[in-house]
Chains A and B, each alone.
Chain A
Amino acid sequence: MAYIKLLFREIKKHFVKLITITLMVAVGVGISTGLGSMSDIMDDSIHSYYKNIKFPDLIIKSTSNEGHNQAIFDFLDNENVLYQSYIEYDLDTKRIHYVNFDNYKLIPLELLDGNYPKNRDEVLVERETLRLKNYKVGDLITVNGVDYKVSGIVFNPFYFYKQDIPSYINQDININTILYFDISNFEPIGNIKTDIQIYLDLDYKKDYEESVEKWIEKLSIFENIKILTQNEMISAKALDMNTNKVRMIGTIFPIIFTLVILIVVVSSIESIIEKDRLILGTFKSLGIGRTKIKFRYHLIILIACFLGGLVGVTLGFEVLSKFVYDTFSTVFVMPKIVLNTQVEVGIIITVIMTLVMIITVEIMASESLNEKTAELLRKKAPKPGAKIWLEHIPFIWNRLKFKHKSSLRNVFRYPINFFMQVISILGATALVFAGLSLLDNVKVLTDYANSSIETISYIVIVCAGVLSILVTYNLTNMNVENREREIATLKVLGYKRGEVAMYIYREVFIISTIGILLGIPTGYLIDGVLFDYIAFGSIEHVRYISIFYTLLLSYSFIILSDILLYRKIHQIDMNGALKSLE
């Protein structure tokens, strides 16, 4: 019972750290879940839609003026394949379809307004998009010198991409009007069918490419045909490119985020255990088993990881995924989202983080517990003060003010801590910068994948920002907690509130500045790898102002942490300076 009580007190004592660790786990898991599962969600949603409307897997275009040979239809009938044939050609910026309105076997037109044509002088028009012109029912459209009246507006799912539709004749020409006539309008009337859409009813997850490849081989016996796969159909191709970039970004960023978070969290745990030496010693002297002693930390970790994982998975999946998915509708007519609860990524990241933290506790706590109990009960002698490398450059050192010398010595005193702190700030800064660089590229480049990258930039920037705040807050907080006695002493000596705070802030500022300044070149490195990997963007397009924004954000976070922790510094009791070293 007393043990349980103690555990609760433990949690209370490390509450701020528990919360920061929880939030960091949540950020890592959230971004991993949100971005990591995004491409799968898109694939699932889009392919279930493809199946619903029977989106063609192949299109066979005839390269002869006579259209398709009857043999090919016989072959398809014989193979029992679902297909529909129609006539399609481009005329300048217009694309003209002749279809059989009464008999859709696949990918049906959806009537949005008006009616199907009743007379020969009536026509259906594809709905307005970012590139297709706006027509209303009753408008007149001239084709080959003949006026046709718009009887209805339709949506052809084949054109769910709202951006450029290049002409078949000349890739540089963009189609701005798509017209649908009844097949009976076509003159000369005959058996000419220029296009065949084929639906193969495949499972996109199971050897899709191979199955399609087999069909192409089977069809290769026919002459004068050109076969388009989905990858050559503009909408599917554009979406596929988007999905791929989302997949790549969704791999790179979660990895970097997770690494940075692990560094911060591990150093946090180290400082908790370091601070608890006396408690470890007391427990050991009372004969409490190692496992039981270590369980205190495992409990904190399990709570933090469980809550962080839960919040991260929920937010990442329910909010981030849906948000990213929704933004695709700016350039695609996106089907309803299919959420096949893709939480594996989030769970894997949570488990990795938990394991790393538990291992840290095992190593750190065991190291402490291996010391003699008497040693533990004594406070670890502070590392002796020592000269730092800068002092060997009298030119600089002698010019520094006393308080700056003191801060610099403190900063470089514990090289491992210093390294970890710099790395964590560096990582967070680099991520903010990478997000901003992506955004810069979106503004300069036009790419089929633009919209997805734009949204993901924002989100990366936001998550990196949150991470950066947490890292800075954690760093400042650790600095305050490790210095309680020094702070109390300074207060007794008559240092004013601001002067005491500056004593802490100055060091955090030095560490952060080193981290931030190294973070920007590191951000450039990440950019280099990222741009290369996703085949999008270039470092040249990254604007210098993004460096400025990164600095602005990073320093704002430092100031924010300083403000948040000002009270804590102020509340440190001067009596702490009178007590013995415990």
Chain B
Amino acid sequence: MMRTYIKALNLSKIYKVGEVTTHALKEVNFEIQEGELVVVLGPSGAGKTTLLNLLGGMDNASDGILLIDDKDISKFKEKQLTLYRRHDVGFVFQFYNLMSNLTAKENVELATEIKKDALKVEDILKLVGLENRMHNFPSQLSGGEQQRVSIARAVAKNPKMLLCDEPTGALDYETGRSILKLLSDIARNQHKTVIIVTHNSAIKHMADRVIYIKNGQIDKVEINENPMSIDLIEW
């Protein structure tokens, strides 16, 4: 039985820099079901990063409601937001953000250290296909391998949701595909809600739900009844 995992109601974000006011998000409304693979699409400057910040608990909304797992995180204070990020969100960065002086395994441990019901690090590294590389430092890994470590770090916390910021942005075509495959496998097999924020519209076919964002507003939302396997998508 699917249930609504995320619900945004008239969500707005206004930045004020001096006398300049920017409406980064204007009364946005959308829903995301639990376990869905979602692609948020939009050109740069459309408000993707702002939405990512709000979903990731890195910033507060100026107005509106953001229900995640039945809690309105838009009203969270800093401490609550920290705990939300710690327990409920796994973050995958465009540039991996690995600690260069920690091995692959230790980078994953950086996340599991602060979570009680974290998954076994070795298991997760096996899941992302790095069981033989776990004692290597980031500099000894390829870009794709580094992104796998980053995904492993996000998954290992056993969060309900993975938030991915342009996860293939720094990778070549083939490697990017393999990373997207991994993310979709995680959504399908681990039943995580996976949100991918990107400007690459080709990957929308693999998503259950595509949210188009433009000028700080939701342009449209598409539901794919039959999402394509990444193997069949070309761009």
Contact = CB atoms under 8 A, between A and B. Distances in A.
Greatest chain A CB density within 10 A among B82, B84, B103 is at B82
Contact of B102 (A385, A485, A497, A578): A385
Interface in A370-422: 381-386, 402-403, 405-406, 409-410, 413
Interface in B107-165: 109-111, 113-115, 137-140, 153, 157, 165
Interface string A560-576: 00000000000000110
Given A385-B101, A410-B101, A580-B95, A493 B139 contact: no
B89 to A, nearest CB: 7
Contacts of A381: 139
Contacts of B83: 494
Contacts of B103: 385
Contact of B97 (A402, A489, A494): A489
Contact of B99 (A386, A406, A496): A406
Interface residues of B, number: 38
B20 to A, nearest CB: 18
Contacts of B10: none
B85 A384 contact: no
Contacts of B114: 493-495, 499
Interface in B57-105: 58-59, 79, 82-87, 89, 91, 93-95, 97, 99-103
A493 B94 contact: no
Contacts of B95: 579-581
A50 B195 CA distance: 89
A410 B101 CA distance: 7
A479 to B, nearest CB: 14
A405 B87 CA distance: 24
Interface in A481-498: 485-486, 489-497
Q: Which of B79, B101, B106 has the most CB of A within 10 A?
A: B101
Contacts of B138: 384-385
A577 interface: yes
Nearest to B86: A494
Chain A, interface residues (CB within 8 Å), range: 20 to 34
B155 to A, nearest CB: 13
B94 A406 contact: no
Nearest to B170: A580
Contacts of B49: 575, 578
Contact of B93 (A385, A402, A489): A489
A495 B79 CA distance: 10
Contacts of B165: 578
B56 interface: yes
A402 B109 contact: yes
A402 to B, nearest CB: 5
Contact of B53 (A489, A496, A575, A579): A575
A500 B58 CA distance: 15
B15 to A, nearest CB: 12
B91 A493 contact: yes
A581 B157 CA distance: 25
A400 B113 CA distance: 14
Contact of B58 (A385, A405, A575, A580): A575
A405 B106 contact: yes
Nearest to B103: A385
B139 A385 contact: yes
A406 B91 contact: no
Contacts of A489: 93, 97, 99
Interface in A536-582: 574-575, 577-581
A4 B21 CA distance: 29
Given A385-B139, A485-B97, A492 B56 contact: yes
Contacts of B140: 384
B113 A402 contact: yes
Interface of B: 49, 52-53, 56, 58-59, 79, 82-87, 89, 91, 93-95, 97, 99-103, 106, 109-111, 113-115, 137-140, 153, 157, 165
Given A494-B82, A494-B86, A574-B53, 8 more contacts: A385-B103, A385-B139, A402-B109, A492-B58, A492-B97, A494-B157, A495-B82, A578-B94
10 contacts: A383-B100, A402-B109, A406-B99, A406-B101, A406-B106, A493-B85, A493-B110, A574-B53, A574-B59, A575-B53
